């Protein structure tokens, strides 16, 4: 695909002509490119019937495309139907015996990550929690818990509840010092700026296409650092985890020497077509351009909230926040509904309204969001000092 300017990129998303879409943290907007790509699969199915050689080739193309996106090699990437499958595959590879059996997790994890590791307790896993401090999870908090008994530290890059961004490079260094694995959940971050898994120093990473990678649900990726691939043998497996799935062997369990060993069943081919188109679209506009746009818009929203006295759950430090800004509300679900009636598509978790920007958003979108929030200001929580000033006026 040829390079796109930001306005050209935005024009690829029909919904943006009708709505102010700030809900990429839940689902990326649908582009014409992804729509067309999934239709190409249907055309192929209709024309060829069962073109499995070509379809599996699309999986391999997507594997290579994603590997390039994160600074990895294709043989370090598994293409999966969900992040849950990837996390379970890794968990099934772990032996919780001897001294190292501790799983250390911060309280900002997404339920899937937490629940998979909690489910390992009957196998001997000891799950230990790191509490947040004033809405933050600094490396120092992990340092008080991670030690020589720690086997793995699953860590979200950006918290889905408050938008906090963890210093993953520092946390990975801490894990290396103690001989533990760092397992990054990058689902709320991948696609909002450049990423290099080698520079971050992570051992494992899981993410998916449904949010900022602009693809459909049903496609996720698992990165496994090459040195670890053959050390980890999952008990959760399937025929696509074999050296040659189409050998159809039933009496021998041979493991792929690449990260394909963490794959299981038949690939989700229609979704693969859409995922490829989404990543190509990101590449056409450039991840640095997207990163710059997101940073400007999140800063603008936080500045507006500060001036309005609105309580912000997201860290104000730009190095400690991702593409997601969370504003406290007296009734977050109701406020999301009221915003939708005004043409603003957002989401909520707990008492927070989530406004998440992407490269297709603009200053005009931010202006529309703040105007709608001002119109519904009674639904927002205010700082105590601001409430007292209003009461005296």
Q: What is the 3-class SS of the chain, one letter each residue?
A: CCCCCHHHHHCCCHHHHCCEECECCCCCCCCHHHHHHHHHHHHHHHHHCCCHHHHHHHHHHHHHHHHHHHCCCHHHEEEECCHHHHHHHHHHHCCCCCCCCEEEEECCCCHHHHHHHHCCHHHCCEEEEECCECCECCHHHHHCCCCCCEEEEEEECECCCCCEECCHHHHHHHHHHHCCEEEEECCCCCCCCCCCHHHHCCCEEEEECCCCCCCCCCCEEEEECHHHHCCCCCCCCCHHHCCCHHHCCCCCCCCCCCHHHHCCCCCCHHHHHHHHHHHHHHHHHCHHHHHHHHHHHHHHHHHHHHHHCECECCCCCHHHECCEEEEEECCHHHHHHHHHHCCEECEEECCEEEEECCCCCCHHHHHHHHHHHHHCHHHECECHHHHHHHHHC
For residue 102, CA distances in Å to 224, 231, 343 come to 20, 19, 47
**Please, which residues bridge with residue 221 across strands?**
79, 207
Please compute the mean of the pLDDT values over residues 242-246 and round it to a whole number: 85
pLDDT over 90 at 274, yes or no: yes
Domain match, 213 and 324 both: no
Domain match, 40 and 136 both: yes
Q: What percent of the chain has pLDDT over 70?
A: 97
How far, in Å, CA of 25 to CA of 28, rounded? 7
- Band (388; pLDDT cuts 50, 70, 90): very low
Domain match, 82 and 214 both: yes
* pLDDT, position 385: 47
Lowest mean pLDDT among 43-57, 236-250, 320-334: 236-250
1: in domain? no
pLDDT over 60 at 387, yes or no: no
Please compute the mean of the pLDDT values over residues 183-196 and round it to a whole number: 98
Q: Which of 259, 282, 305 is the last residue of a domain?
A: 282
380: in domain? yes
Domain match, 263 and 302 both: no
How far, in Å, CA of 138 to CA of 340, rounded? 35
* pLDDT, position 252: 86
Domain match, 81 and 169 both: yes
How far, in Å, CA of 268 to CA of 271, rounded? 6
Domain that holds residue 19: 6-30+286-392
Please compute the mean of the pLDDT values over residues 159-188 and round it to a whole number: 97
- Band (362; pLDDT cuts 50, 70, 90): very high
Do residues 128 and 153 lie in contact, with contact meaning Cβ atoms separated by under 8 Å? no
Domain match, 235 and 151 both: yes
Buried b (16+ CB within 10 A) or exposed e, 219-252: bbbbbbbeeebeebebeebebbbbeebeeeeeee
* pLDDT, position 386: 52
User: The pTM is what?
Assistant: 0.94
Span 117-137, pLDDT tens digits: 999 999 999 999 999 998 899
Q: Which of 252, 282, 312 is the last residue of a domain?
A: 282
Total of domains in the chain: 2
91: in domain? yes
Domain match, 255 and 332 both: no
Domain match, 251 and 293 both: no
Average pLDDT along the chain: 95
For residue 33, CA distances in Å to 10, 55, 99, 217, 296 come to 12, 18, 51, 16, 26
How far, in Å, CA of 236 to CA of 27, rounded? 28
Phi first, then psi, for residue 165 (nearest 5°) are -110, 120
Q: What is the CATH number of the domain that holds 256?
A: 3.40.640.10
**Please, which residues bridge with residue 133 across strands?**
136
Q: What is the CATH number of the domain that holds 350?
A: 3.90.1150.10
239: in domain? yes
Query: What are the residues whose beta carbons fall under 8 Å from the beta carbon of 333, sequence distance 6 or more?
Result: 348
Strand order in the sheet with 347-349: 324-328, 352-356, 347-349
Pick the residue with more confidence: 241 or 113? 113
Q: What percent of the chain has pLDDT over 90?
A: 90
How far, in Å, CA of 135 to CA of 69, rounded? 30
Please compute the mean of the pLDDT values over residues 45-62 and round it to a whole number: 94
* pLDDT, position 393: 46
129: in domain? yes
Q: Which of 236, 264, 282 is the last residue of a domain?
A: 282
Between the CA atoms of 39, 74, 96 and 240, what dihedral angle is there, to the nearest 10 degrees?
Answer: 50
């Amino acid at each position: 695909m040829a390079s796109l300017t930001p306005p050209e990129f935005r024009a690829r998303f029909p919904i943006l002509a009708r709505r102010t879409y700030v809900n990429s943290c839940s689902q990326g907007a649908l582009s014409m490119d992804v729509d067309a790509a999934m239709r190409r699969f249907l055309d192929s199915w209709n024309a060829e019937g069962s073109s499995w050689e070509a379809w599996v080739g699309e999986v391999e193309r997507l594997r290579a495309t994603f590997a390039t996106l994160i600074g990895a090699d294709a043989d370090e990437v598994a293409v999966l139907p969900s992040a849950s499958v990837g996390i379970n595959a890794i968990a099934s590879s772990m032996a919780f015996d001897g001294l190292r059996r501790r799983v250390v997790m911060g309280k900002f994890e997404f339920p899937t990550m937490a629940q998979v590791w909690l489910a390992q307790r009957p196998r001997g896993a000891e799950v230990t929690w790191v509490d947040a401090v004033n809405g933050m999870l600094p490396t120092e908090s992990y340092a008080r818990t991670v030690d020589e008994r720690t086997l793995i530290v699953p860590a979200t890059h950006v918290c889905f509840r408050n938008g906090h961004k963890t210093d993953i490079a520092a946390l990975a260094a801490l894990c290396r010092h103690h001989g533990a694995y760092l397992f990054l959940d990058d689902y709320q971050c991948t696609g909002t700026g450049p990423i290099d898994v080698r520079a971050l120093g992570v051992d494992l990473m899981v993410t998916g296409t449904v949010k900022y990678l602009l693809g459909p649900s049903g496609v996720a990726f698992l990165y496994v650092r090459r040195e670890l691939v053959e050390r980890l043998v999952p008990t959760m497996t399937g025929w696509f985890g074999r050296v040659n799935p189409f050998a159809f062997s039933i009496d021998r369990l041979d493991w792929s020497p690449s990260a394909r060993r963490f794959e299981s069943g038949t690939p989700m081919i229609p979704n693969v077509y859409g995922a490829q188109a989404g990543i190509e679209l990101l590449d056409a506009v450039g991840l640095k351009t997207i990163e710059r746009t997101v940073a400007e818009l999140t800063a603008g929203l936080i500045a507006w909230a500060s001036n309005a006295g609105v309580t912000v759950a997201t860290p104000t430090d730009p190095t400690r926040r991702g593409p997601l800004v969370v504003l406290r509300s007296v009734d977050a679900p109701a406020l999301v509904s009221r915003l939708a009636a005004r043409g603003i598509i957002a989401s909520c978790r707990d008492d927070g309204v989530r406004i998440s920007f992407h490269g297709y958003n603009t200053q005009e979108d931010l202006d529309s969001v703040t105007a709608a929030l001002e119109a519904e200001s009674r639904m927002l929580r205010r700082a105590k000092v601001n409430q007292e000033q209003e009461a005296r006026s």
